Structure 1
Amino acid sequence: MDTGVGTGIPALSGRVKAVGDAGEDCVGHGSFAAGLIAAAPADGVGVAGLAPRALILAVRGTDTRGGTTPGTLAVGIRTAADQGADVIYVGRAMATGKDELSAAVEHAARRDALVVAPVVPDALPKDSKTGEPVERAPWYWPASADGVLSVGDYGPGGKRPEQAPPTTGADLTAPGDAVVSVGPSGSGHYYGFGSSLAAAHVADAAALVRARHPKLTADETARLLTVGSYPDDPPRLDPYAALTTVLTDGRGAAPRQAAAQLPEKAPNGPRHRALAIVGAGGGLVLLVAGAAVVIPRGRARGWRAPR
């Protein structure tokens, strides 16, 4: 659920189903995210997503210029869940909309759909008078809702851009700076950055896990992604470990962040992590905004974007 996904992208040929007018993408963000998740090598396209056989369900979550509201996102999450999405990728972080977005996430959880979202916006909005970035909100939605896997970003060498919003409270981190993907048409290659792109990494890893282990529940899949991550603070996504880790208990719920890592004032109620996923071989990935494609094997190894 994002700005749409171009149905004529060679790297996604035959694997995009659009709801309404979501097959057109004038902004390019949704197409970029889809490429990070599911692009497959094609003529003139060197980008490949982690789940290159995944099916993409494109749901428009913005207007034609990329603007959105909590209500629009909530409707999109519900639509994706009702249409059978196994992983619902939300690439937006809203400072408002707690009630309606939390209710939409609960709706998705009842249908065993994993919601993945960035813990903060890619960039903080600027004050209309001073031109300076506004102060970071203590919580963003839907990432802070019960049942959402929240994702932060990092760049080459493990560092983040100096102006990037703090990612306090993320369940996982993944590459989100200097990443490369496709545009809304043709075989062009584009660069992007932000937590929304890191969230795309987690969404495609979730797609692979559910495809490899189709009997796992959403909760169990989420737990595999977290317990199989590289130990850091917060932990870093390791899709290879997630595919091979064996759960040793029956809980299945993803671990919660330590209270000390979260803002002092938390939302009402505990933050239980219950999520669902997409099948890389036949599931549906819902786009809600984001993009990225290089996965690390650990801090010591590092990573670099493709040339």
Structure 2
Amino acid sequence: MPYDRCRRAMGLAAVAALLALVPALPAAADGEPVSLPPLRLRMATDDICATASTKVAELHPWTYQALQLPRSWQLSRGRGVTVAVIDTGVSPRTPSLKGRVNVVGDAGQDCVGHGSFVAGLIAAAATGSATVTGVAPSAEILALRGTDTEGNPSMEQIAQGIRTAADRRAGVIYIGQVLAGDGKKLADAVAYAVGRDALVIAPAAPDVAPQGADGRPDTRPRAYWPAQIPEVVSVVDFGPAGSRPEAAPNALAPDLSAPGDAVVGIGVEGDGHFLGSGSSLAAAHVAGAAALMRSYLPDLSASDVTRRLQEVAYPDSIPRLDVYAGLTAVLPTARAQPEAGPDPAQIPHGTAGATRNRALMIGGGALGVVLLIGASMIVVPRGRARGWRAAQ
């Protein structure tokens, strides 16, 4: 049976009420909205590398309370857990990740800015006004490149990144890109990582729906790698107003949903902020939640954490991430098994013959009584008529 249905239903109603009250964009101290620069997903050949943002969100973004971060941080901040980020790279220059980014190869150069942004959603620590903080602000980041410098993903790079992250003992492996086509290399790499007790998390759909032949968004459901691999926790996004319609339909049966629309995050340097939307951002929040759980409950395996993420989620058409319940829920030691039906009735060996004999004895006795009564009804009247004298 799912964990505590009543608690989750009440919690979902409370979160829905909260999301209805919070704005989609951050606000300045005087209440006026702040216009943050948009997060890039790709960059053109003639674009310059990402730089610092000059805009700062003055208030906590809506995701801060939706993820229940203040309550969760009383229990865990992700210390001792390494989260691998396989994306466009992660800049070690950003102040909120200073000293906690380990780079593989050239992954320390993030021209697009996407990898640094999601790394901040996972593990950014409080700096400056402390308005933007990651889910697990004490976790370590292992940066691996899964794209070229312009942000175009590579199946081979991502597969190698997964294997390298597993060899480096990353407890959580986040993949920020989705790919179509033959995913055998990714499936083999994920199996390799799962065998080393790593939890793999990926977006279930692209941040921007692909375009059809007519130039319009093609929202037909389709399978993307690595999200369609059974061992991968696949995530789709929602925002303050609910699901994001232009991308969510592309996902095929995602495991979880998490905040991913109108999300405020960090840049490659400086204290400024950017604004982005997409399933890749939702998956980053789930990766941060997994880091909190692996830090607070270190005896849990990666599969245990996967089960915990899914079974304590808020009930919805796509279950919603519940960070605090993932840390505090008491679950059975194993998944509930279907109740067994009653065993068929069986007659013990050796009783059939005895039952038949007993029935014959009872029947024979009853017949004897009937015959005796019948004989009496004939003999007694005749005896009386002759005065009980012997016949001549």
What secondary structure does 2:233 align onto? Answer: strand
Q: Find the counterpart in structure 1 of residue 348 from structure 2.
A: none
Q: Which amino acid aligns with 2:289?
A: A
Say if 1:224 and 1:165 are closer, same or farther in 2 by CA, change over 3 A.
closer
Match of 2:322 among 224, 233, 238: 238
Q: Does the CA contact (< 8 Å) of 2:171 and 2:198 recur in 1?
A: yes
Q: Deviation at 1:131?
A: 2.8
The 5 A counterparts of 1:141-290 are: 141-160=225-244, 162-166=245-249, 167-251=251-335
User: Which structure has the larger Rg over C-alpha atoms?
Assistant: 2
Q: Deviation at 1:234?
A: 1.2
Distance 1:230 1:163 in 2: 23
Q: Does the CA contact (< 8 Å) of 2:236 and 2:248 recur in 1?
A: no
Say if 1:165 and 1:240 are closer, same or farther in 2 by CA, change over 3 A.
closer
Say if 1:45 and 1:109 are closer, same or farther in 2 by CA, change over 3 A.
same
Segments of 5+ residues of structure 1 without an aligned counterpart are 253-307
Identity %: 54
Distance 2:331 2:285 in 1: 22
Distance 1:159 1:120 in 2: 13
Q: Does the CA contact (< 8 Å) of 2:236 and 2:254 recur in 1?
A: yes
Say if 1:208 and 1:194 are closer, same or farther in 2 by CA, change over 3 A.
same
Instruction: Using structure 1 for the length normalisation, give the TM-score.
Output: 0.78
Q: Does the CA contact (< 8 Å) of 1:15 and 1:54 recur in 2?
A: yes
Instruction: Using structure 2 for the length normalisation, give the TM-score.
Output: 0.61
1:101 to 2:186 alignment? yes
Segments of 5+ residues of structure 2 without an aligned counterpart are 1-85, 337-392
Higher helix share: 2
User: What are the Cα deviations for residues 189-226 of structure 1, in whole angstroms up to 9, with x where unaligned?
Assistant: 01010000000111000000000000111111111111
**Runs of 4+ residues deviating >4 angstroms:** none
Q: Find the counterpart in structure 2 of residue 272 from structure 1.
A: none
Distance 1:163 1:43 in 2: 35
Q: Find the counterpart in structure 1 of residue 147 from structure 2.
A: 62
Q: Find the counterpart in structure 2 of residue 32 from structure 1.
A: 117
Say if 1:91 and 1:248 are closer, same or farther in 2 by CA, change over 3 A.
same
Q: Does the CA contact (< 8 Å) of 2:219 and 2:246 recur in 1?
A: no
Q: Deviation at 1:112?
A: 0.4
Q: Which amino acid aligns with 1:246?
A: V
Q: Does the CA contact (< 8 Å) of 1:119 and 1:143 recur in 2?
A: yes
Q: Find the counterpart in structure 2 of residue 8 from structure 1.
A: 93
What secondary structure does 2:187 align onto? Answer: helix
Q: Find the counterpart in structure 2 of residue 112 from structure 1.
A: 197
Distance 1:91 1:242 in 2: 23
Distance 1:39 1:114 in 2: 20
Q: Deviation at 1:82?
A: 1.0
Q: Does the CA contact (< 8 Å) of 2:121 and 2:134 recur in 1?
A: yes
Please provide the CA RMSD for this pair.
1.6
